[in-house]
Chain A
């Protein structure tokens, strides 16, 4: 699971700014999941993507949040006009195929909104 890369590891944004979080899955993995973890809480599912497709975004807020996983390059979680409540750790996980259930997590991006 050390192969899932996320950057930046720490991100500080002022209220109203945009945050862009990047995730490169493990080699050979084409499925990416984003989760959010608030302090002292469990992880909450946000969105599930395959290359060039959003499969399930039911856990993502309808406004200000978007995600993509282009044909080339990392998956990106974008948060527009950040608010203090967006402060959290954002983890991505990858898996090789729908039939393979295991999800391996990246190190996370800790977003702080001031």
Chain B
């Protein structure tokens, strides 16, 4: 089955700086890669996703890149704000199971 590795596990940045979170996956058949933001005690919220036929996708301050050959994808947040502080999870869709396999999460702290 699919295995997703995520790093770093914690990331602290100054307000206004950029943050980058990286994930690798094992199943070359995976073709959908969402990113979720989870605040303490809340539900995971889908913030951006990318499909395997696209190399990059951007939505305002958030962008995701995908390298299918290397089987890794990254989340980029620019001009970080304190409200970006949360745990971010990457995931890959296991096409054989139709279930998302999640990374272990990155706790992002944006210092004002």
Contact = CB atoms under 8 A, between A and B. Distances in A.
Interface of A: 1, 4, 33, 35, 41-45, 48, 55-56, 58-59, 91, 93, 98, 101-108
Contacts of B36: 105
Interface of B: 6, 32, 34, 36, 42-46, 49, 51, 89, 93, 97-105
Contact of B44 (A41, A55, A102, A105): A105
B98 A102 contact: no
A33 B34 CA distance: 15
Contact of A102 (B49, B104, B105): B49
Nearest to B6: A42
Contacts, number: 59
Interface of B is mostly: strand
A56 B32 CA distance: 18
Contacts of A48: 97-99
Given A1-B43, A105-B44, A106-B43, A45 B34 contact: no
**Across the A-B interface, the 8 shortest Cβ-Cβ residue pairs:** A45-B99, A42-B102, A101-B32, A105-B43, A43-B102, A42-B104, A105-B44, A107-B43
B43 A91 contact: yes
A4 B44 CA distance: 12
Contacts of A105: 36, 43-46
B104 A45 contact: no
Contacts of B43: 1, 4, 91, 105-108
B44 A43 contact: yes
Most B CB contacts (10 A, CB to CB) among A1, A44, A103 go to: A103
Given A43-B89, A48-B97, A56-B97, A103 B102 contact: no
B46 A107 contact: no
B42 A103 contact: no
B10 to A, nearest CB: 11
B46 A1 contact: yes
Contact of B97 (A4, A58, A103, A108): A58
Nearest to A33: B99
A1 B102 contact: no
